[in-house]
Structures are given as structure tokens and as C-alpha cells.
Structure 1
């Protein structure tokens, strides 16, 4: 989950452990001051009565790691991000101290916190169907007679391949988050948990020196067969059962990730293990000369503090687009299962609204004096700023409504009337196109450029809105084909990256093309009107504004072949 998405949080739900009254009072004061809704439940209680799935919710736990784990169990199935506040003793997961609560929440709701997507583990066995964030333990049941056998034997398979027989106290299957618990105590490796989606099998008190931990992917299907009685525990007993001989246990990575909010007021992972687990290759505090931000240059060759305004704006726009892409993907997945047109329209409207709200909130938080111009909301003016953000939160709504993946998010920054920065994000493919005027164009961080074809019969064309099919009929036989994708922003990006040699748009709106113009131009594209005159971008939407874009060398052939087609296009509009 992108941390910028948290900027649109509507309400907080807190899971509260005993002896957290003082911290809860601080939380209540903070929400009252900001006019936010706060609901509280005791540890172990369900949040169903206070949770509204139609509102953007942040989960907060007040307690130690036990309360944090209860929060994961409660919040993650509902895809709610969680911030852990430590009111316990040895807290390794809940790392915000009560005195930093207000500052940490301010940072979170400004969209400046990070969200770790933590791998969870799922187990299915006789008497247990559960998900945990730490580990699954299978171990021997202590015998009634202390002199009876105290070991267990477990047969382990990975994707139907026999791993072997584990003899000893048992074994643990842990996530990276759980690698610092039982697995570490059994000499398993510590895994850096941030966006690390692996599982590890760690033998407990093995009777063979050669048996070592094994790391597998979360897609690996582990099957564990007991040779005798065994105890199974998930996350230290939050789910528990006693197994008998020949019982089968299926363990794999859970589909649902846990979203853990991390702020600058948290101890970082290696600081936490240094302080709490005795990691002795470094001190608890990192010396200034060792800090990465003081050693690593940015892409432009300057340090983080001196990064230019445009680069900062590009970072904000990129994060806003990726944050808005998350609810679009979620809602897009619902469209195909809906059969009623009105219901589909509701989903599309909600998608537009959510994406627009995220983007405008993020931009307004970072640049409060700038103007905002979005297709989905009224124009918002700043304080005599030369900068205007032009936003299309969902370009390709027709595609979106029919389950087609060709839709995009378009964000551009305009300076005194000219586009200077563009970001186009494709949620379904996770492609990110970016461009800075006089700075270059990129796809997923790699430079892009247009093709160099100059022959029409060797070229692939893309058409935007073509009301009576004139462009299609005029060029289809003369080229390698004319495609229509249904997203003007994507059309320009595919021109920029060489997936097409030319683009035609019968009519354009500023929010459709502002970002794509920067990207295409910086990749080497030539952009004109239908007569070959330089294309003039304007925020005004009165009248038809046609656009012809090409790789450059192909432009003369396009214009020559359009001479007979353009009057037909113009006439068809006038007669209509």
C-alpha cells in the first residue's frame, strides 16, 4: 500500500489493551482537535459494529506486541493499514512511543508515512484454518510420563517434492516478520521484513547437525505430515490444536498482506534489533557520516536536501498516482462480476471519486498554494501561483467500466501555461511513464524514445476519438494498422516509448493530454495540430482541439496523406 493513500483517512479505529488509558486520552484529544471520528474496542473484541467499509480507515493499536498481533488479525482481512503504539514493555512490532503519538499521526495523515506490506502465513489442518503474521509451530506434546519419548517426527513436502524427515522438538514455518522470534531462537536467519515475501522452515532442537533452515517462496505449498501426536500453534497460540498421527498440515503464504504503517518516529528495523535483540555490528544510533542520506546522490547528482523543485514535484506526483492506482485496481476487479449497468456506473463513479480525492489531497498537502484543475472536481485556485496541477484520475472510463485494463491516471504540472512535468500511471500493468520538460522521459525509470520510421506502410498508428471512422478508413490500408486504446494519455505514452509511430486525436481536453505531452515531447515526438502547426496547449476547453503526434520522421507523410481526410473530419463535425 502506498503511504500517500493515508492522506485521505476518514476515521480511526483503536484496539486498546488494559493500562492504556493515558495514551487513549491523547489519541482522543488528537482526533477531537482535527474533527476526526474515533472508535475504540477492547483487545479481542470485533470491530464489526464500528467499521464502515465505505470510509478510509486507519487502525491503531495501543499496547504491546500482543495487542499489535490482535490488530493484524482484525485489520488485515479488511485491508486496513495499522499503526502500532507501544504502551507495553518489550515491543518489537509496536514501535511508536506514546509521547510521539500526535506527531506520528500528523505525519501519517499528511501521507508522509511508509506502509510495509508484510507477508502473512496461512495454515489449514484438522481443527485449524488460520492466518498469522509471525509463524506456525508444530512441536511435540509433552508426555505424561517424563521418561517417555520427547521427540516428534514430521515428514515435510514442498510442492509435492519430499524434503525429508525432521526429528526433534518440531519445526517452525515463519514469515520475515516472525524471523526474530522462535525462528531466531532456533538459530534461524533474521529476515529483513520490509516488503519481503518469503517463508522459512526452521527445525526446532533437531537431532542432526546437518539440518539447516530452508527459505521458500510464499507460493510454495508446504505439506507436513505428523508421525505421532503434535501441537500446532499459530502466532504463539492465537490459533491452536492437537494433532494425531498421519494428520496433514498445509502451510503457504497468505494472499492477504498485512499493511504496517511506519513513521519517522518509529525505530527502524536494525535500530530495533540492536536495542532489543543485542545486534552488535552497530550502535543503536547511526553516526551522521554513516547515514545513507548523507552519502548517496539522487538521480540528478545532488543530495536529498538540495533536490530541485521539479524533482520533488515529480516524486509527489508519482506517489499520488500510485496511491490512487490502488483503489482503482480494487474496484476494477469488481466490475467484471457486476451485470447491471447502473451498478457498474456506481463503481466507475466511486473509482473516479476515490482516485481524484487521493491525488488532490496529496498535491494540496505538499503544494498548498498551487492551483488544481481536475476533470472530476472544480478548479481550485491558490494564491496567485504560476503553477497549476492538471489531473485526470481515470482516463479511459469506458475501458474501466467494461473490465478492460487500458485505463490510466494522468497528472501534469503546468507553469505559466506550459506543461513542465508529466506522470502517467497504468494501474493494471504497474507501468509508470514520467517526463520533465528539458529533462527527459522514462518508463519505470528507464529512458524512452520514439521510433525513427519514416514510411507510412511500415508504421503502426493509434487513433483516439474518431467520430465517424474517417481517420481509420483513411489510414488503415496505408499503414501496418490503426489501433484504438481508449485512453489519450496512454496513446501519447505508447508513442513516446516506441509502441506506436503516430497518434491522432480528433478532439482533446487538457486533462487528457497534459502529462502525455511532456512525456512524448521529451521522448522526441513531434506534436502538431491537423494542419501541421505547432500544437498549443491551453487549459480552456471551448472548441475542438485536434492533435497529431508522431515520431518526427513520419510527420510529413502523415500530413500529406491527411490533406483529403481532414476536411471530411471537419465537415462531419459541422454537420453533426
Structure 2
């Protein structure tokens, strides 16, 4: 999940600890929410949020308290895929890093879409009817004996994906996530993991009776099965879920399917500062020396076009989760002109996230979307958005759909970004600076014979393009997304593209990407394609350049392929 989506926040739901300091923080939170036109609901820690949570609203979860309150927030917000921001009114807090003094500034940064979201790996556990999820750890330990001289250890047989790991002899085991690596796991001499977008599980012995038994790290997809040799206590996240197990009971632990979405702002300490200040990490004990300057592997964008391109990338990536969550499950549909032109609630959700991100960054720019004028400012810069190209595919569960976003300067596309949420492929280009797919440069093919080329076509009402070119080439493919057709041409997955008719939002971003990859983009007469041409709906011919003359000549010789395009 991307921070730009947070700019569409409509409602805050706060879980509040009973600490005296929390009352003053809530009052400040209420004032800030009112000043910013946002709804606010509060519940006491331990109470369920069902009565105040609106699933159809873009919600930000807030906890006011310490790490314990934050863990309660994770327990309630994560299953609902709600991002969570922690405000610290406790004492020592590791998960919660926003100080009360920074409450308003941090929240403002969040709703401006300038915060980031850490996707934290969670752990899922099943045992004896219990099904639970935690962000820190699952602890399996001996039951405290009533008589202090009775047995205080337990034996646990452990399997990983069906393979026998061994017998653990001691007070128990901790199965920890990267977030939980700084708690019980660290106390038992386990390694510390940077938890940001990191996925794995640790199997950590507690008070082991064998010096050679060390912590193990396995993938988050590993199914860990623990067989109890006697009565055992099972605790998730320090006892927020608890179950007492009998002899031969089996515990199954693996990485949870859902992540916890933790909001981070510039007012938070970074992870390494946090472990230094809170855990006394020795590598930062510089004995008065200044911290060296930051070394970054990526240079900061320094031109207007580079900054605009980075914004576009962030904006389209922000719609990945909401679009994938609704993909193939669309319940609300209506039609524009006919049943093949479906608009879904996903269109509007995607559009809202993207336009909000642009408005926050470039309020003076004009914004046009597939559904019409969103913002008209008279600026020389216009953002052209197709929030869901390939809607018919999307509504039917087909993965061939994309989000297309272009920036035009005086009607000429200068930045293009196309994102395919299902495959996580992102194409981008700035005029004059080359084309990229997921940050790697791409170029068109060098085939120079039409007979050896793979073609792609858009809407072909009579099937004439398909019938004419299919046998004379290596085939014709149709994905149902003009933006993807142009991107596949750009990265060499096709040699040419023909579109019977296009709208500006269909192709503006793809044209920048294709041209920067070396493609020729014209109409069938060979005239350079203009996003805003004389026709409202325009034919488009794009190729690797080598076969372009041959392709357009054959199209002109068979005008019935395109001469019915609407003027």
C-alpha cells in the first residue's frame, strides 16, 4: 500500500488508552479532525470498533497510548486492511513513534499523501480451535507449575513444511516476525530484523538446554507444526490471544495472508535510530562523533519532469491494493453507452486516489479523466488519467487491465506512466530520457519483416484487421487495453499495434513510453499521431519503426479497415 492513497482519508477511528495523557491528546485530535473536515470516532482500548467503523469509508486507524494500545489497534485494524498510525502517550514505545507534540503535523502529512506505509509481515496460528493473527510473535511455553519444585521445562517436536526440524528442550519456543524480532526473540539471542516490507519467520528456542540449538530463519510461507509433549501455554502477541493446550495437541504457524499497514511520517525516528535509542544498539555509540552524511543509491529528482514522473509512479502504485481487492468481485455496475462499456466502483476509487495525489502536489494543474473534466485551471500543464483501462477485463476477473497517467504540456505528452496492478509491472517515460519497465530501460524490437512480426490490435468491429494480417504475420493478439498494447510494443513483446479508434486518455501515457523506446506512432497515412487531433476518436498505428512503412502501406491499400472511424 502506498502513502499517496492516504490523501483520500475521510474518517479517523481512534483506539485510546486510559492513561491521563491520552485525554489531552484526544482533544487535540478532535480539534485537528474538525479543522480538516474529517470524521472522528473514538473507542476505549479493548472495545470493538464495529459500532463506529464504516467499511465503505476511507479510514485511517489511530492509536493513542503506548505499544500495548498499538498492538490492540493492529488486532482490530489489520483484518479490515485499515492503515494505522500510532501516537505515543506511554513511556517506552518501540512500535509507536509519533510524539504527542507532533500529532497535528504528522496527521497533516498523512492526509496530504506524504507519509509512507510499512507493510509488516504478520503471523497466523491455529491450535485446538483457536485461529489468531499477530504482528509480533507466537510463544509456546511450559505451564507454570503450582509447586515451585515441579518440572519447569517442556519438550516440543517441530516440523517445517513436513520436514522434522528436531526436539526443542527448554521453557519453550517463540515464532517471531521481523517486527517481533526486537522483543522476546532478541531476549533469547535471536537476530534483529529491519521489519519494513520484510517477510520471514524466526524459530527461537527459549531457555534451551542445548548450547548448539540456535535460532532458525525460514520463509513466511513455511508451515511450522509444533507437537506438544505435555500441557503447554500458547500466547500470541504477549497474551492478546491465549490458549492452554494438552499433550499431543498440534500448533500450526505460518505467515499471515494479510499484512499490517503501519503509517510512518517524517516525525518518526527511523528504525536504526529507534533501536539505538531504545535498545542501546552499540553500532550507533559514536562517542561524540557526528553521524556521517546519508549515502543514497538513488539521486533525488531535480527537474520538474522527474518530480512529476515520481508523483505519477506513486499515485498509480497507490491504487494497486484497492483494485486487486475488487478485481473480479465487482458488485456495482452501470453502463455508459452499451453493455461492453462498463464503469465500476473501482474506476471511481482509482480516480479519487490519483486525482487527490495530483491536487495535493500540483494544485494549479488541469486534470482530465476518462469520466470528464475533474479540474480546469487554464494551466499549460494537464494531467490525463485513465483510472482503469480495460474495465471489461477487470469486471470479469481478467488480469489484463492497467492504470494510465500522462502529463501534457500545451497538449503534448511529456511524461507517461502505465501500471499493471496484477503483475506489478510499471512502465514510465519522460520525453527525451528513454523508457523504463520497473526501472530497467526498454527498447522496441529490431525485426524488419512484417511477416516475422507479432501484431496487437484494439477494437476491430468487423474483424477485418485480424483476418487480413493474421496469416501474413506471426499472429495478431488483443488484450483489451490500448495502454498495455503500447507498453508491450515498448518492451519488445510485440512489433506493432493497430487501434481502430482511441481517446486521448487511452493512449497519451503509452505514446510517451512507446516513442521513448524507439517506436514510430502515426495514423494509417503515416502522419505523426497527435493526442488531440482533428478527430475525437482517432486510429493509431505504432510499430518498432522498421516495419512501419510496410504496415501503413498495407493499411492504406485496405482502407475498409479504418475508414469508418467516427469523426
Partner of 1:313: 308
2:431 to 417, 434, 437: 437
Query: 2:538, 2:565 within 8 Å by CA — same for their partners in 1?
Result: no
Instruction: Check if 1:479 corresponds to 2:473.
Output: yes
CA deviation map 1:132-160 (0-9, x unaligned): 11111111112222222211111101011
Identify which range, 21-30 or 326-335, moves more after superposition. Answer: 326-335
- Cα distance between partner residues in 2 of 1:345 and 1:144: 71
Partner of 1:202: 204
- Cα distance between partner residues in 2 of 1:274 and 1:546: 61
1:132 to 106, 131, 134: 134
Partner of 1:178: 180
1:504 to 498, 502, 519: 498
- Measured after TM superposition, the shift of residue 543 of structure 1 is 3.7
Partner of 1:88: 90
Query: 2:342, 2:392 within 8 Å by CA — same for their partners in 1?
Result: no
Query: 1:356, 1:376 within 8 Å by CA — same for their partners in 2?
Result: no
1:402-481 equivalences in 2 (<5 Å): 402-481=396-475
Partner of 2:272: 270
1:243-254 equivalences in 2 (<5 Å): 243-254=245-256
Partner of 2:73: 71
- Cα distance between partner residues in 2 of 1:555 and 1:311: 31
CA deviation map 1:98-140 (0-9, x unaligned): 1100000011111111101111111111252211111111111
Partner of 1:550: 543
Query: 1:232, 1:242 within 8 Å by CA — same for their partners in 2?
Result: yes
Residues 287, 256 of structure 1: CA spacing in aligned structure 2 closer, same or farther, 3 A cutoff?
farther
TM-score (norm 2): 0.95
Alignment: residue pair count = 562
Secondary structure, counterpart of 1:409 in structure 2: strand
1:341-420 equivalences in 2 (<5 Å): 348-382=343-377, 384-420=378-414
- Measured after TM superposition, the shift of residue 506 of structure 1 is 1.4
- Cα distance between partner residues in 2 of 1:209 and 1:54: 53
1:536 to 530, 555, 560: 530
Partner of 1:40: 42
TM-score (norm 1): 0.94
- Cα distance between partner residues in 2 of 1:38 and 1:345: 41
Residues 179, 285 of structure 1: CA spacing in aligned structure 2 closer, same or farther, 3 A cutoff?
farther
Secondary structure, counterpart of 2:318 in structure 1: helix
Residues 519, 16 of structure 1: CA spacing in aligned structure 2 closer, same or farther, 3 A cutoff?
same
Unpaired segments of 5 or more residues in structure 1?
A: none
- Measured after TM superposition, the shift of residue 223 of structure 1 is 0.6
Secondary structure, counterpart of 2:261 in structure 1: strand
- Measured after TM superposition, the shift of residue 341 of structure 1 is 8.8
Residues 35, 413 of structure 1: CA spacing in aligned structure 2 closer, same or farther, 3 A cutoff?
same
- Cα distance between partner residues in 1 of 2:314 and 2:556: 43
- Cα distance between partner residues in 1 of 2:268 and 2:341: 40
- Cα distance between partner residues in 2 of 1:279 and 1:167: 30
CA deviation map 1:42-101 (0-9, x unaligned): 101111111111110000000011100000001000000000000111111111011100
Secondary structure, counterpart of 2:56 in structure 1: coil
CA deviation map 1:22-53 (0-9, x unaligned): 00000000001111100000101111111111
- Measured after TM superposition, the shift of residue 481 of structure 1 is 0.8
Identify which range, 73-82 or 557-566, moves more after superposition. Answer: 557-566
- Cα distance between partner residues in 1 of 2:394 and 2:418: 16
Partner of 1:155: 157
Partner of 2:60: 58
